[in-house]
Chains A and B, each alone.
Chain A
Amino acid sequence: MEPTDLNLTVTQREQCMVEAQVFGIYKHFSDLPSRAQTVMLELVRDKHIEYLTDGLQQLGSSFRVLDANRPWLCYWILHSLALLGEYVDDELENNAVDFLNRCQDPNGGYSGGPGQMPHLATTYAAVNALVTLGGQRSLSSINRDKLYTFLRRMKDPSGGFRMHEAGEIDVRACYTAISVASVLNILDQELVENVGNYILSCQTYEGGIAGEPGSEAHGGYTFCGLATMILIGQVHGLNITGLMNWVVFRQGVECGFQGRTNKLVDGCYSFWQGGVFSLIQRLRTVVNEQLVMMDDGKQDGSSRCTQIPVKSHASERKQDSEGTSSQYDESRWEQGGAPAGLPRSPDLINLSNIGLSFVEQHTENGPLFHSLALQQYILLCSQVLNGGFRDKPGKARDYYHTCYCLSGLSVCQYSCSKDLDSSPLPHALFGPYSNLVESVHPLYNIVLNRYHAAHDFFRGS
């Protein structure tokens, strides 16, 4: 197939052009002597750090279109640096905490910039950035009581969340609200109410999850929807095997992931789709249960069971943890808990441990996607040798793609590991072992050790 073939459709033509570019790079790579290949596969850490630190300190005037996304810029940059194992110096850290505090609304939540309205997406970005910075000053700057009231105000009677006052309702809003509440240990039954039903209504006939009911299955929303369902303890309601069948086909001949069926590869889906695999790897029990139920459904002659009975949160967690380090243990979540003034229902207590127990379980099974192939795409096609990452060859680098390519690289590198907190074996890495980055908590996309520190902080305070 040639891109110039007039009989090709738009989809085929664009796909051909991308394939030609990507395969050109792979051909060039395979023709190199092995020493040169090793150099080409190197993660150019210093260049990335330089690009990231520069952005933290100054951005050009063209960034005005991101003037309502400044906490996002903070998160993309700080998370990328954390993945690279870097800590910002005290001064920059103080400046970042101070700036994000100026984005914090007196009535709760964070806005896109000082003086703007609070918004759920920038609240997620600000909280993740502050957790990534870590430390007393940073973590205590978050007004959790007010943030909780903001989340409640954004809650729609239908169960979903609005992005901002009178803003749009979608799966992104649900994820950012639930993720923030979970990290800060303020998740309760009122916030969870009917979110699950909303997400379920967004799983499409293809198997993936859409932004709104009826829309097309999409990588970003699939990650958000799946992570939300896990965080609220209702993941068994989704058709996980159908979702797996959809997501496994999103990795293409270019070795990277596309966001939707028959769309072009894009480096950012290394995390959105790769992260879905990281989550699924830790859902072995739920997946096996669904397989058994489907099997039973056929054997007694009835149709496929679509309504999976909802179990209690307690039994769910016990099974999720696979009987390992995070057994149902009352003493762990009895201390600390919710901030003053919030209800302390049994449901709140149940919800408060899901994020930690999810990441503490061991995984016996390897990844169901091609991890080395994805690393090849990230390193050879998305990496910009002058620092930063991009969507695909021919596109310019940016902080968003830098964050999600590096996050995807992390997912790949730890995809064969039993535990996320132990170093992977060399064969799990494509390229030199010096490419190793930090592991992330796949439900929040926060570097794992920073998550643990925040978890202890919000548990104890």
Chain B
Amino acid sequence: MESEEGERIPLSQRPEWHDVTPVPQDDGPNPVVPIAYTDEFRETMDYFRAVYLADERSHRSLQLTSEAIRLNPGNYTVWHFRRLILETLGADLQKELDFVEDIAKDNSKNYQIWHHRRGLAEKLGTAATVTELEFTKKILSLDAKNYHAWSHRQWVLQALGGWEDELDYCHQLLKEDIFNNSAWNQRYFVITKSPLLGGLEAMRDSEVGYSIEAIVVNPENESPWRYLRGLFKDDPKSWIDDSRVSSLCLKILRAKSRCVFALSTLLELVCDGFRPSSEFKDAVVSLWNNSGSDSTDSSLAETICSVLGFLDPLRANYWTWRKSKLPAQTV
């Protein structure tokens, strides 16, 4: 609350608070990690403790929680008490959405805000679908990888619906930034969970095409490679039988650059039972020869591990380990 000059009026000087005795924080005589609170912070929290302890669910308490939340949006006790007040007062939840949005502007990575928002949307039901999808879109337009915003959006879709445009939205974000792994994750969520699309198997064919297209442009982009692998989760037979996957690996390997993911994908294929033709062997061996080393490996899987150990030294230990654990049929 501010005076006409815009200065905060201390609670102790506001007539509507004269009947309340503030409750100081019980920090003890010699607290550790003591915070040098400003007078404003200390007073606000002292009055908050007073109404919280008295369980006073009033309009002035609601107003006080707004002030306390502005000073520290991470105080989950204040948020919790605010929910109790809203419930008791039967407050206008649309107005509450505006309050949350205002706080979220500067604190979009705070657990409490999103938990509060979810609670509000739960109460509002399908009336909140559009506002919640728009709200998360707004947050994601500032930070397209905001973890909380994505979680909230997924919750909205599953609890309230609004799947119609979601695949398009993912496509739009990926068009803006094909390296945005959160958008790839959302795409996976949509194709596996949307009631409108028929599930993973129905979507697999077109999604394989979609991810391959992205890989060809940026073979060093890990996201579509993981997505492609994810499309065949729990179905290794289709994975090794889809010739588009192996052809993709071959194409990238022959280009002889940015091929760590092509090699590691080929390794997965071989380990899962794919039988590579001599073309694959030639492409891998040619990478090996480029490194100037002599190969003593007897199988393609072993050679791939050796090449990866060379091209990807940061993960040399991992590739050595993989080499030592190759399935019997690949060696």
Contact = CB atoms under 8 A, between A and B. Distances in A.
B41 A303 contact: no
Interface in B232-250: 233-237
12 contacts: A64-B41, A74-B32, A114-B28, A116-B76, A164-B80, A166-B83, A251-B314, A252-B314, A262-B181, A262-B222, A263-B145, A370-B313
A330 B115 CA distance: 45
A291 B272 CA distance: 11
A211 B35 contact: no
B298 to A, nearest CB: 18
A307 B234 CA distance: 10
B226 A261 contact: yes
Nearest to A162: B115
A434 B178 CA distance: 45
Contact of B226 (A77, A168, A205, A366): A205
Interface stretch (B8-16, B281-289, B317-325): B317-325
Interface residues of B, number: 76
Contact of B185 (A91, A215, A246, A367): A215
B35 A59 contact: yes
Interface stretch (A27-35, A96-104, A340-348): A96-104
> Which has the most chain A C-beta neighbours within 10 Å: B145, B193, B235?
B145
Contacts of A65: 72-74
Contacts of B111: 163, 168
A64 B71 contact: yes
Nearest to A114: B26
Interface in B61-94: 71-77, 80, 83
B36 A205 contact: no
Contact of A167 (B45, B52, B76, B314): B76
A60 to B, nearest CB: 6
B31 interface: yes
> Which has the most chain A C-beta neighbours within 10 Å: B38, B41, B52, B72?
B72
A70 B33 contact: yes
A365 interface: yes
In the A-B complex, the 4 residue pairs with the closest CB atoms: A205-B230, A11-B179, A9-B177, A261-B181
Given A69-B74, A115-B52, 6 more contacts: A65-B74, A67-B75, A73-B33, A95-B31, A263-B145, A295-B328
A64 B27 CA distance: 15
A303 B234 contact: yes
Given A216-B181, A262-B223, A114 B230 contact: no
Contact of B76 (A70, A117, A255, A291): A117
A246 B229 CA distance: 12
A119 B38 contact: no
Contacts of A98: 28, 30
Contacts of A136: none
Interface in B89-132: 111, 114-115, 118
A60 B223 CA distance: 41
A74 B33 contact: yes
Contacts of B53: 115
A206 B35 contact: no
A39 interface: no
B234 A218 contact: no
Interface of A is mostly: loop
A205 B227 contact: yes
> Which has the most chain B C-beta neighbours within 10 Å: A57, A96, A168, A245?
A168
Interface of B is mostly: helix
> Which has the most chain A C-beta neighbours within 10 Å: B35, B182, B264?
B35
A304 B236 contact: yes
Contact of B36 (A58, A68, A299): A58
A211 B316 CA distance: 30
B193 A63 contact: no
A304 B32 contact: no
B137 interface: no
A152 interface: no
Interface in A88-132: 91-92, 95-96, 98-99, 102, 111-117, 119
A211 B151 CA distance: 9
A109 B285 CA distance: 60
Contacts of B315: 248-249, 251, 368-370
Given A115-B25, A212-B151, A214-B154, A61 B37 contact: yes
Interface in B280-331: 313-318, 321, 325, 327-329
Given A73-B33, A248-B318, A262-B223, A306 B234 contact: yes
A282 interface: no
Contacts of B236: 298, 303-304
> Which has the most chain A C-beta neighbours within 10 Å: B31, B118, B229?
B31
Given A57-B32, A216-B150, A370-B314, A68 B76 contact: yes
> Which has the most chain B C-beta neighbours within 10 Å: A57, A67, A303?
A67
Interface string A283-308: 00000100100110011000110100
A298 B272 contact: yes
Contact of A102 (B27, B178, B229): B27
B26 A368 contact: no
A217 B223 CA distance: 12
A245 B238 CA distance: 21
> Which has the most chain B C-beta neighbours within 10 Å: A64, A116, A294, A368?
A64
A303 B273 CA distance: 11
B15 to A, nearest CB: 26
A205 B232 CA distance: 9
A55 interface: yes
A298 B329 contact: yes
B34 interface: yes
A368 B321 contact: yes
Contact of A10 (B26, B28, B114, B177): B177
